[in-house]
Amino acid sequence: MTLDPLNKEQRSERMSKIKSVNTKPEMVVRQMVYHSGFRYRLNVKELPGKPDLVFKSKRKVIFINGCFWHQHGCNIYRMPHTRLDYWLPKLEGNILRDMLAFESLEKEGWSVLVVWECEIEKDIERTKEKIINFLLTKD
């Protein structure tokens, strides 16, 4: 087991700076969608999972997931080496909560798209195409 190079106060300060809304990937997708002519609502609390973008008239939602927090398994995702007793249940809980939210939304007639942080960083044009196709497709 590797020891954390930061002390408890330093780690706490660093973790407190991690945002849960208005993240860089969210802002990139929001701007892209808006400039493509689509209008949306943000983080609608009444819907399961509080989707990042909600297109009510289309009954479509988009979740913009961070690869670490939602355990994507890509090249930018790394499991912490310390405090696994904390991190494993936390991250597994995120995955379970996502799965339940997606199932609930689909049962209620919503279409769900997940956009991963790494997709945005890797190929923004391909990500834009994926989102636009999702929004234009009639279900």
Write the pLDDT tens digit of every residue in 48-96.
999 999 999 999 999 999 998 888 888 877 777 788 888 889 999 999 9
At residue 48, the pLDDT reads 97
Predicted TM-score (pTM) of this structure: 0.85
Please give the angle made by the CA atoms of 19, 102 and 62, to the nearest 5 degrees: 55
Q: Which of the four pLDDT bands, split at 50, 70 and 90, describes residue 14?
A: low
Rounded CA separation 131/113 (Å): 8
Beta strands in 12-59 (DSSP E): 41-42, 53-55
Number of neighbouring beta carbons within 10 Å of residue 69: 17
CATH topology of domain 21-136: Endonuclease; Chain A (3.40.960)
Do residues 91 and 71 lie in contact, with contact meaning Cβ atoms separated by under 8 Å? yes
**pLDDT value of position 78:** 78
pLDDT band at 8 (very low <50, low <70, confident <90, very high): low
pLDDT of the residue at 105: 98
